[in-house]
Amino acid sequence: MQAVLTFPDFSPEIFTISLLGFDFAPRWYALAYIVGILIAWQLARMAIARPALWHGDHAPLNRVQLDDLITWIILGVILGGRLGFVLFYEPAYYLAHPIEVLMVWQGGMSFHGGMLGVVAASWIFAVRQKVPALTLGDLVAHTVPPGLLLGRLANFINAELWGRPSELPWAVIFPGGAAQNCPGVEGLCARHPSQLYEAALEGLVLGALLLWLAYRRGAFKRPGQIMGTFFAGYGLARFLVEFLRQPDAQFISPGNPLGLAWHVGGYGLTMGQILSLPMIALGLWFILRARRAASAAPA
């Protein structure tokens, strides 16, 4: 095997405190959620503080409404992410063990499910508060990439969701029996650090693009454009990285070593790719809709 990288000596736990016979051990993944939400909150506050950015020179929310929206979004992320994992990835297992659906501390969250949860929560909030749904979607969408960046970094620290075997110089030897189960590989098995690929594409690149559109290209004045760019951009990034990411174990079998959720003759798509295609299509539709609406508007 060529030169590769050894996984750093990270612990999933930030620190551990023993108190009254219980161990309190906050984890990096939980911290990523918390910090991601706080950054999103601050980005949204900065955006609504500049009415000139918005269609009609009027921000869609005031500060009190934004604070309420954050609560709705937190619920959407947690409920949607958990139910998405249950329904998309392991429905048979949780049908047999329904009580474990509630055990979110054991892991198992789906980004696509979390996204649907946020969309549902934002739509309900928009209806209740009589806020334009597309404009609210733009506000929420441009705040998401920092959380994605932190979440993927936490995945790397947790040594989870790694990529397929690789001999590239930056491939990483992840610990654990599952990571080292690489048929046909002799010795230590190195893998693509696909968590870092996603952190770069979904977090840094997509986040920079959305901020540029919002603050330099006046995209907030075209309702739906930023939300559509987020959907299409995330979907495309996830679709591409899935070629290098190790699929979920439940899809791998002797006749399907690539773990394709849908395949014909050895060619097909992973579950992540299947779930990303509707995002790409929906995102492009929102972008085209926003551009046509802007072109049809009176000068």
Q: Contact at 8 Å (CB) between 139 and 109?
A: no
**Position 21 confidence tier, pLDDT thresholds 50, 70, 90:** low
Give the model's pLDDT for residue 240: 96
CA 144/CA 142 separation, integer angstroms:
6
CA 101/CA 273 separation, integer angstroms:
24
Q: Contact at 8 Å (CB) between 263 and 274?
A: no
Token representation of residue 141 = 């969408």
Give the model's pLDDT for residue 171: 95
DSSP state of 248: P
- The yes-or-no verdict on residue 161 having pLDDT over 60 is yes
Q: Contact at 8 Å (CB) between 109 and 161?
A: no
**DSSP bridge pairs for 183:** none
CA 151/CA 35 separation, integer angstroms:
10
Q: Which of 93-107, 113-127, 147-161 has the lowest mean pLDDT?
A: 93-107
142 or 109: which leads in pLDDT: 142
- The yes-or-no verdict on residue 100 having pLDDT over 90 is no
- The yes-or-no verdict on residue 99 having pLDDT over 70 is yes
pTM: 0.87
C-alpha atoms less than 13 angstroms from C-alpha of 78 in its C-beta half-sphere? 13
Average pLDDT estimate for 168-188: 90
What is the percent of the chain where pLDDT is above 90?
A: 57
Please state the separation of Cα 85 from the chain's center in Å: 13
Give the model's pLDDT for residue 297: 67
Average pLDDT estimate for 203-214: 98
Q: What is the pLDDT of residues 214-267, one digit of tens each?
A: 999 999 999 999 999 999 999 999 999 999 999 877 778 777 777 888 877 777
CA 238/CA 85 separation, integer angstroms:
16
Give the model's pLDDT for residue 298: 62
CA 123/CA 158 separation, integer angstroms:
33
Give the model's pLDDT for residue 23: 66
Sequence-separated (6 or more) residues with CB below 8 Å from residue 129: 61, 65, 68
229 or 96: which leads in pLDDT: 229
What is the percent of the chain where pLDDT is above 70?
A: 93
CA 194/CA 83 separation, integer angstroms:
24
When the pLDDT of each residue in the chain is averaged and rounded to a whole number, the result is: 88
Give the model's pLDDT for residue 257: 76
Q: Contact at 8 Å (CB) between 54 and 220?
A: yes
Give the model's pLDDT for residue 261: 82
Q: What is the pLDDT of residues 104-130, one digit of tens each?
A: 656 677 777 888 899 899 999 999 999
Give the model's pLDDT for residue 73: 92
**Position 212 confidence tier, pLDDT thresholds 50, 70, 90:** very high
- The yes-or-no verdict on residue 199 having pLDDT over 70 is yes
- The yes-or-no verdict on residue 278 having pLDDT over 90 is yes
